[in-house]
Structure 1
Amino acid sequence: MEYTTFGRTGLRVSKLGLGGAPLGGVFGPADEREVEKMIHEAIDGGINFIDTAPSYGNGESERRIGRALSGGRRSQVVLASKAVGPGESFGYEETIRSVEQSLTRLQTEWIDLLQIHDAEHVPYETIVGETLPALQKLREEGKIRFIGISTRVLPLLLRYVRLNEFGSIQFYARYMLIDHTAKDELLPLAAENGLGVINGSVLGLGLLADTPAPFLSQAIVEEAAKRIEELHFLRRTEPFGLVEPAMRFSLSQPAIHVTLTGAATSEVLRTNMAYCDGRGLEPDKLERVYTLFQGKSLFPAE
Structure 2
Amino acid sequence: MEYTTLGRTGLKVSRLGLGGAPLAGGFGQTDPGEVQRMIHEALDAGITFIDTAPLYGKGESEKRIGEALVGRRDRVVLATKAATSDRIYDYETVYQSVEDSLRRLQTDWVDVLQLHDVETQSFDRVMNEAVPALDRLRREGKVRHIGVSTRKLSLLERYMHTGVFDTIQFYVRYMLIDHTAKDAVIPLAERLNIGVINGSVLGMGLLADSPASFMQKDIVIQAQERMERIAFLRRTSNGGLIEPGMRFSLGHPGIAVTLTGAENSEVIRRNVQFCDGRGLAPEEQEAVYKLFDREALFPDRPD
Alpha-carbon distance, 1:200 to partner: 0.3
Alpha-carbon distance, 1:296 to partner: 1.0
Alpha-carbon distance, 1:236 to partner: 3.0
**Does the 8 Å contact 1:59/1:105 carry over to 2?**
yes
Task: Indicate whether 1:230 and 2:229 are aligned.
Answer: yes
Structure 2 partner of 1:26:
26
Structure 1 partner of 2:38:
38
Alpha-carbon distance, 1:187 to partner: 0.3
Distance in 2 between residues matched to 1:240 and 1:139, nearest whole Å = 47
Q: Deviations over 1:166-220 (max 9, x none)?
A: 0000000000000000000000001100001000000011111111122222221
Q: Which aligned segments of 4 or more residues in structure 1 are displaced greater than 4 angstroms? A: 237-240
Task: Indicate whether 1:66 and 2:66 are aligned.
Answer: yes
Farther-moved stretch of structure 1 (212-221 vs 133-142): 212-221
Distance in 1 between residues matched to 2:236 and 2:278, nearest whole Å = 19
Alpha-carbon distance, 1:63 to partner: 0.7
- After TM superposition, list the pairs within 5 Å mapping 1:1-302 onto structure 2: 1-70=1-70, 72-236=71-235, 241-302=240-301
AA aligned to 2:151 is R
**Does the 8 Å contact 2:236/2:244 carry over to 1?**
no
**Does the 8 Å contact 2:26/2:57 carry over to 1?**
yes
Distance in 1 between residues matched to 2:24 and 2:116, nearest whole Å = 16
Q: Deviations over 1:211-231 (max 9, x none)?
A: 112222222111111110000
**Does the 8 Å contact 2:167/2:195 carry over to 1?**
yes
| Aligned-CA RMSD value | 1.2
Distance in 2 between residues matched to 1:69 and 1:18, nearest whole Å = 13
Unmatched runs of 5 consecutive residues or more in structure 2 = none
| 1:198 to 1:238, Cα distance in 2 relative to 1, 3 A | closer
Alpha-carbon distance, 1:301 to partner: 4.4
**Does the 8 Å contact 1:208/1:240 carry over to 2?**
no
- Matched position secondary structure for 2:196: strand
**Does the 8 Å contact 2:151/2:300 carry over to 1?**
no
Distance in 1 between residues matched to 2:168 and 2:239, nearest whole Å = 29
| TM-score normalised according to structure 1 size | 0.98
**Does the 8 Å contact 2:236/2:243 carry over to 1?**
no
AA aligned to 2:17 is G
| TM-score normalised according to structure 2 size | 0.97
- Matched position secondary structure for 2:130: helix
**Does the 8 Å contact 2:150/2:170 carry over to 1?**
yes
**Does the 8 Å contact 1:209/1:240 carry over to 2?**
no
Distance in 1 between residues matched to 2:23 and 2:242, nearest whole Å = 20
**Does the 8 Å contact 2:172/2:298 carry over to 1?**
no
Distance in 1 between residues matched to 2:185 and 2:234, nearest whole Å = 28
Aligned length: 301
Distance in 1 between residues matched to 2:239 and 2:43, nearest whole Å = 26
Unmatched runs of 5 consecutive residues or more in structure 1 = none
Alpha-carbon distance, 1:103 to partner: 0.5
Alpha-carbon distance, 1:238 to partner: 8.7
